[in-house]
Amino acid sequence: MPETVTVVVNGISVTMPAGSMVSAAILKTGITAFRRSATGEPRGPLCGMGRCFECRVTIDGEAHCRSCQTVCRDGMDVRTDG
Amino acid sequence: MTAIKVCDVVIIGAGIVGAACAAECVREGLSVAIVEAGIVGGGATAAGMGHLVVMDDSEAQFALTRYSQQLWDEVSAELPREVEHDACGTIWIAADDEEMAEAERKARFYSERGVAVEILDAHALREAEPNLREGLVGGLRVPGDSVIYPPCAAQFFVDQARTQGAELFLGTAVEAIDADSVRLRNGTSISAGVIVNSAGSWSPSLTPGLEVRKRKGHLVITDRYPRFLRHQLVELGYLKSAHSLTADSVAFNIQPRKTGQLLIGSSRQFEVDDAHVDPSILRRMLERAVEYLPGLRKLSSLRTWTGFRAATPDKLPLIGPHGEHPRLYLATGHEGLGITTSLGTAKLLLAQIMNREPVIPIAPYLPARVQESLHA
Amino acid sequence: MADALVIGAGPAGLAAAYRAAQAGLRVTVVDDNPAAGGQIWRGELQKPSSREAQGWFEKIRSVDIKLINGARVFQQTAPGTLLAETPEGVCELSYRNLVLATGACERFLPFPGWTLPNVMGAGGLQALVKTGLPIEGKRVVVAGSGPLLLAVAAYLRGRGAEVLLIAEQASQLRLAKFGFGLVGKMSQAFSLKRQLRGVRYLSGCWVTAAHGTDKLEGVTLFRSGKRWQVSCDYLACGFHLVPNVELAELLSCVVENGCVQVDQYQQTSVENVYSAGEATGIGGLELSLVEGEIAGLAAAGKHDDARSLFPVREQQRKFAKLLNNTFALRDELRQLPEPETIVCRCEDVTFGRLREHSSWRAAKLQTRCGMGPCQGRVCGGAVEFLFGWRAESVRPPILPVRVESLIRSAE
């Protein structure tokens, strides 16, 4: 079982401990705006447990994925909307 | 019986029809009371799609929707931001040659009457809406159609009416319509020269014998997908669904909201009183939708709900004097076109109250027509 | 078909599953996270952080239980059958007995700047750090209310964060009644003494605003009439906990004051549906565990064994009552939002707009507050506190799901 995993966030490779969530990988790159709100405010994770929906990003082409509940997998393509 | 208010007109129901009528009445200089058992725009106004659409089921339906659409165009600049008015247009979709022939017939009907239309072949259809599946034959684009968020429109008209002196009684249920007043459940009454029953699917409970039946519909709304859809899309088979008076039916009907959310419909059921979401109807409706838009499958859906349209036997609303009750007017039975025709309804109602020539012929919408056909 | 289907793999769910399996039932546990542990034991299945967690994970491994992770229950398709969405599709879950151990979520209250990136819940920031966010050297203000703030502060400090202070809105008087005279006493009660030595714990203190342009740069704090600013990288702010009751409501279980109502055997108003843990009322770890055990035993028909645990539960309930009284929210927090402060984050509905309406239904319809993806989970706790508005009954899906999952739900 590999100890680390590498995902790609907005084209940048990020290596994380195995079992990390995509949200942590995004924050590790220094990105704080995961998405834009209805009126264009930058937003990032709030609840960390899949209920606030502020952490949504596009993962492997699927929009509105809750990054705080998605485990990083090697080669995952993550796009923020900030 | 204590009359807590005396006014020219009391309007029962603050859905979009009642609200539009109230705004029109105060514009005329009449004193108005609006009585609403729940909240403004909480019935079919809240549940349905706010599609401002011109329709051609009959000359009378066309006249009323066309007249109303022109009124909406006149007021669109004034509408607040929350009404989310969007002139996105409609595309009627033809899945086969028979439906394409229907599209062409519709195109002729509309252009003969001055409504701008554009026939789309298969290629043009895919260009206009890239997420539609391959293999559709074509469609009819009606650029003059638009969409709104109805509850805020109803609130806007109510606010307009109140600014000019109308009094709003919210959370106030009507017990009965008496000879010259409306009796409220709390024991008081409102006395008025004209009483308007615009209570939508509740209108028969206040006016016994009214030929208005509930027609249940289902809807689903998705999360935001801003570039997925540009126009309101309706299948031409929709008409087959709207025509049936007995069977449960679903038809593809989808609306892009200004928010980027997609509002998916539609279904029609008679003789169903409960508001629960029926999973089998929902499934049929969604399966129909994904037939046209395969990419819909993977989209995130946020909520499902139902609503009740107020339907009449001939699919035209009741606008005008009750006939037997000297002060009672009806403004109800709009089925799936209440949002569009609310403005035309208000004008036609006022024309009759004020004994003026209406802008379009009134006969097809008179309540008396139904009573006549019953007695015939 | 499971003899006992447990929703939630936190302490209550695991305790219920263990007892039911031990009694010979076929048990399935379903959780929306990638691994068991709930919030408090998040990510600890392989590396427990306490003897208690270790003990319970060992118990779970010692019995035959089916564990389904990454599954989100969204609908009931027939009595006795739930439907969950997974990354692959949907998963049908049939049961004879159901245990709802759905836990709780933090209560978020709006204040100017609370929507800035890097303003998170207290449990929220902890969850992010547990799942890989590097926090070493970062300056963190922990604020809000409840014992969770201490656990979070201690955890973050242990991971190298610079915890600048803990702002607890409860007054010194209330905290003292709970035996929380000084930070020392309180952390003793929660075995956090060593980890929190030197961290300022300010009672009767709260954040009045968060500042920054694109992300958090600092906060304004208020205490005893004084206001001052603190620069920081993260604000971990949550106001105690709110039970997660949507699934119980979907199943028509009686819910009162936001808590699933249960009898002495943890059975809800619906036959064969039990509930345990924070969903029945906030009470902490020990109460969740014993409630879970009682529910699991009752589901297995072991009522004598269940009764033997009643005294422990009673004792823990006393603690829970004291806990909730201590951390009751003060009125001043209702004055925090300004007219432009966003209350509904999904639809960006401001406090000023919401104030115009006299009912939750009217507010929802006119502003679309609560109609976004969170389905009122975040703004619900706030509008209840600010306006006294309670959420109405739920409709399926109780979570956003793919359109194709809704289609599958009618099969």
* Domain coverage including residue A20: 4-79
* Per-residue confidence (pLDDT) for residue B268, from 0 to 100: 94
Question: Residue C186 pLDDT > 60, yes or no?
Answer: no
- Cα separation, C40 vs C8, in Å, equals 12
Q: Name the residue among B39, B82, B302 with its Cβ closest to that of C400.
A: B302
Q: Which of C314, C302, C350 is nearest to C114 (CA)?
A: C350
| Per-residue three-class SS string for chain C | CEEEEEECCCHHHHHHHHHHHHCCCCEEEECCCCCCCCCCCCCCCCCCCCHHHHHHHHHHHHCCEEEECCCEEEEEEECCEEEEECCCCEEEEEEEEEEECCCEEECCCCCCCCCCCCEECHHHHHHHHHCCCCCCCCEEEEEEECCHHHHHHHHHHHCCCEEEEEEECCCHHHHHHCCCCCHHHHHHHCCCHHHHCCCEEEECEEEEEEECCCCCCEEEEEECCEEEEEECCEEEEEECEEECCHHHHHCCCCEECCEECCCCCCECCCCCEEECHHHHCCCCHHHHHHHHHHHHHHHCCCHHHHHHCHHHHHHHHHHHHHHHHHCCCCHHHHHCCCCCCEEECCCCEEHHHHHCCCCHHHHHHHHCCCCCCCCCCCHHHHHHHHHCCCCCCCCCCCCCEEHHHHHHCCC
Q: Are residues B217 and B107 in the same domain?
A: yes
* Contact A39/B at CB under 8 A: no
User: What is d(CA C159, CA C155) in angstroms, rounded to the nearest whole number?
Assistant: 6
Final residue of a structural domain among C205, C239, C273: C239
pLDDT tens digits along C298-354: 999 999 999 999 999 999 999 899 889 999 999 999 999 999 999 999 999 999 999
C33 and A43: CB-CB below 8 Å? no
Work out the number of other CB atoms within 10 angstroms of the CB of residue A38: 17
Check if the beta carbon of residue C318 is closer than 8 Å to that of residue C325.
no
Nearest beta carbon to residue C395 from set B40, B296, B305: B305
Residue B81 lies in a domain: no
* Alpha carbon distance C127, B203 (integer Å): 53
Residue B99 covered by a domain = yes
Give C75's contacts in chain B (Cβ within 8 Å).
279
Q: What is the CATH number of the domain that holds B358?
A: 3.50.50.60
Radius of gyration of chain C (CA): 21
> Which amino acid, B256?
P
Residues B301 and B183 in one domain: no
Lowest mean pLDDT among C132-136, C244-248, C316-320: C316-320
- The verdict on a CB contact (< 8 Å) between C115 and A43 is yes
- In this structure, the answer to whether residues B20 and B30 fall within a common structural domain is yes
Mode of pairing for the β-strands spanning C139-145 and C234-239: parallel
Of B155, B277, B289, the CB nearest to C366: B155
Task: Establish if B69 belongs to a structural domain.
Answer: no
Long-range CB pairs of C173-180, under 8 A, 24+ apart, other chains included: C174/C325, C174/C326, C174/C327, C174/C328, C175/C203, C175/C326, C177/C322, C177/C326, C178/C322, C178/C323, C178/C326, C180/C326
pTM of this structure:
0.95
Model confidence at C23, pLDDT cuts 50, 70, 90, reads: very high
Q: Which of B269, B287, B311 is the last residue of a domain?
A: B311
Domain count, chain B: 2
Q: Do C39 and A49 touch (CB under 8 A)?
A: yes
Per-residue pLDDT of C164-181, as tens digits, reads: 999 999 999 998 887 654
Domain that holds residue B220: 87-143+213-311
Dihedral (C-alpha) B304, B309, B313, B316: value to the nearest 10 degrees? -120
**Is C340 within 8 Å of chain A by CB?**
no
Tell me, yes or no, whether C188 lies in a domain. Answer: yes
Comparing B251-255, B272-276, C91-95, C337-341, the range with the smallest average pLDDT is B272-276
CA distance B285 to chain A (A): 23
Chain C partners of B222 at a C-beta cutoff of 8 Å? 403
Query: What's the gap in Å between the CA of B304 and the closest CA on chain A?
Result: 18
CB contact under 8 A, B223 and A62: no
Percent of chain B with pLDDT over 90: 91
DSSP state, B303? E
> At A7, which helix (H) or strand (E)?
strand A4-9
Asked whether the predicted pLDDT for residue B70 surpasses 90, the reply is yes
Measured between CA atoms, how close is B7 to chain A, in angstroms?
43
- In tens, the pLDDT along C261-281 reads 999 999 999 999 999 999 999
Give the whole-angstrom CA distance, residue B161 versus residue B19.
8
Closest CA in chain A for residue C376: A52
Which of the four pLDDT bands, split at 50, 70 and 90, describes residue C184? Answer: very low
Query: In this structure, are B283 and B318 located in the same domain?
Result: no
Q: Is the dihedral of CA B343, B345, B346, B348 positive or negative?
A: positive
The per-residue pLDDT of chain A, averaged, comes to: 96
pLDDT at position B175 over 80: yes
Judge whether residue A13 has pLDDT over 80: yes
In angstroms, rounded to a whole number, what is the distance separating the alpha carbons of residues C29 and C5?
6
* CA C401 – CA B263 distance, rounded (Å): 15
Contacts of B259 in chain A (CB under 8 A): 38
> With an 8 Å Cβ cutoff, is C217 touching chain A?
no
pLDDT one-digit tens code per residue, C98-107:
999 999 999 9
| Contact flag C121-A34 (C-beta cutoff 8 Å) | no
Give yes or no: residues B162 and B305 share one domain: no
Taking the C-alpha atoms of residue B273 and residue C371, their distance in angstroms, rounded to an integer, is: 25
Q: Based on the domain organization, do B160 and B171 belong to the same domain?
A: yes
Q: Are residues B98 and B118 in the same domain?
A: yes
Q: What is the distance between the alpha carbons of residues B68 and B341, in angstroms, rounded to a whole number?
A: 5
Last residue of a domain, one of B292, B311, B330: B311
- Taking only residues 176 to 235 of chain B, the set having a beta carbon closer than 8 angstroms to any beta carbon of chain A reads 223-225
**Distance from C-alpha of B332 to C-alpha of B199, rounded to nearest angstrom:** 7
> Would you state the structure tokens that stand for residue C268, as one six-digit string?
């809800």
Q: CA neighbours within 13 Å on the CB side: how many for C315?
A: 9
**Per-residue pLDDT at B373 exceeds 60:** no
Residue C182 has pLDDT above 70, yes or no: no
Distance between A18 CA and the closest CA of chain C, angstroms: 9
C362 touches chain B (CB under 8 A): yes
A63 and chain B in contact, CB less than 8 A: yes
Burial C224-256 (b: 16+ CB within 10 A, else e): eeeeeebebbbbbbbbbbbbbbbbbbbbebebe
Answer yes or no: do C123 and C235 share one domain. yes
Contacts of residue C131, defined as CB under 8 A and 6 or more positions apart, other chains included, come to A19, A20, A21, A23, A24, A48, A68, C42, C43
Question: Under an 8 A CB cutoff, do C400 and B82 touch?
Answer: no
Is the predicted pLDDT of residue B349 greater than 80, yes or no? yes
Across the interface, whether the CB atoms of A63 and B223 are under 8 A apart is answered: yes
CATH number, position C132 = 3.50.50.60
DSSP B81: G
Instruction: Tell me which of B159, B301, B304, B306 to substitute to probe the interface with C (most C C-beta atoms closer than 10 Å).
Output: B301
Residues of C in contact with A24 (CB under 8 A): 128-129, 131-133
pLDDT above 90 (res B339): yes
Q: What is the DSSP string of B223-234?
A: EE-TTS-SSEEE
Out of C358, C365, C406, the one facing B46 most closely (by C-beta) is C365
Q: How far apart are the first and last CA of chain B?
A: 39
ipTM tops 0.95: yes
Tokens of residue C385, six digits: 């506190």
Q: Would you say residue B317 has pLDDT above 90?
A: yes
| Average pLDDT over every residue of B195-217 | 96
3-state secondary structure of B86: strand
Domain count, chain C: 3
Parallel, antiparallel, or unpaired: how do β-strands C162-168 and C139-145 relate?
A: parallel
What was the pLDDT predicted at B112? 97
Give the Cα separation of B348 and A77 in Å (integer).
58
Q: Does A71 touch chain B (CB under 8 A)?
A: no
Q: Strand, coil or helix: what is B187?
A: coil
Same domain, C159 and C180: yes
Say how many C-beta atoms besides its own lie within 10 A of residue B240's C-beta.
Answer: 12
Q: Give me the helix-helix angle, B16-27 and B338-353, nearest 10°.
A: 40
Q: State the CB neighbour count (10 A cutoff) for residue C137.
A: 9
Q: Residues 362..401 of C with a Cβ closer than 8 Å to A: which?
A: 372-374, 377-378, 400
- Of the pLDDT bands very low, low, confident and very high (cuts 50, 70, 90), residue C390 is confident
Say if residue C190's pLDDT is above 90.
no
- Name the residue type at position C251: L
C376 near B CB under 8 A: no
Q: Which of residues C272, C294, C323 is at a domain's end?
A: C323
Distance CA B257, CA C54 (A): 51
pLDDT tens digits for range C203-216: 999 999 999 999 99
pLDDT for the residue B37: 97
Q: How much is the mean pLDDT over chain B?
A: 95
Beta partners for residue B118, in sequence order: B141
Alpha helices (H) in B87-142, listed in sequence order: 97-112, 122-128
- Residue B65 lies inside a defined structural domain of this protein: no
Compare CB distances from C117 to A24, A43, A68 and report the shortest one's residue.
A43
Q: Does the pLDDT at position C130 exceed 50?
A: yes
In chain B, residues 297-326 whose CB comes closer than 8 Å to chain A: 298, 300
C12 within domain boundaries: yes
Which residue range forms the structural domain that includes residue C89? Answer: 2-105+242-323
Residues of A in contact with C348 (CB under 8 A): 37-39, 41
Please indicate if any CB of chain B lies within 8 Å of the CB of C28: no
Query: Average model confidence (pLDDT) for chain C?
Result: 94
- Judge whether residue B1 has pLDDT over 80: no
The CATH number of the domain holding residue A46 is 3.10.20.30
Residue-wise burial string across C367-378, b where 16 or more C-beta atoms lie within 10 A, e elsewhere: bbbbbbbbbbbb
Kindly state whether residue C270 falls inside one of the protein's structural domains: yes
* Chain C contact set for B264 (CB, 8 A): 403
- Which B positions 68-127 lie with beta carbon below 8 A of chain C? 82
Of B224, B259, B298, the CB nearest to A62: B298
How many independent structural domains does chain A possess? 1
Comparing CA positions, the residue from B35, B11, B44 lying closest to residue B337 is: B44
Cα angle: C267, vertex C269, C275; to 5 degrees: 40
Give the helix ranges, DSSP H, for B53-95: 59-75
SS3 state of residue B330: strand
Tell me: do C354 and C316 sit in the same domain.
Answer: no
| Nearest-by-Cβ selection for A46 from C70, C72, C108 | C108
From chain A, pick out residues whose CB is under 8 angstroms from the CB of C374.
51-53
Q: Which amino acid is at C282?
A: I
Mean pLDDT computed over B52-61: 97
Instruction: Let me know whether C133 and C71 are in one domain.
Output: no
The count of C-alpha atoms lying within 13 angstroms of the C-alpha of C243, restricted to the half-sphere facing its C-beta, is 26
pLDDT of A58 strictly over 50:
yes
Least confident among B39-53, B229-243, C310-324 = B229-243
Q: Is B251 helix (H, G, I), strand (E, B) or coil?
A: strand
Chain C hits for B290, CB-CB cut-off 8 Å, are 403-404, 407
Write down which residue in B311, B327, B362 finishes a domain: B311
**Mutate which: C346, C366, C405, C408, vs B, most B CBs within 10 A:** C366
Residue C408 in domain: yes
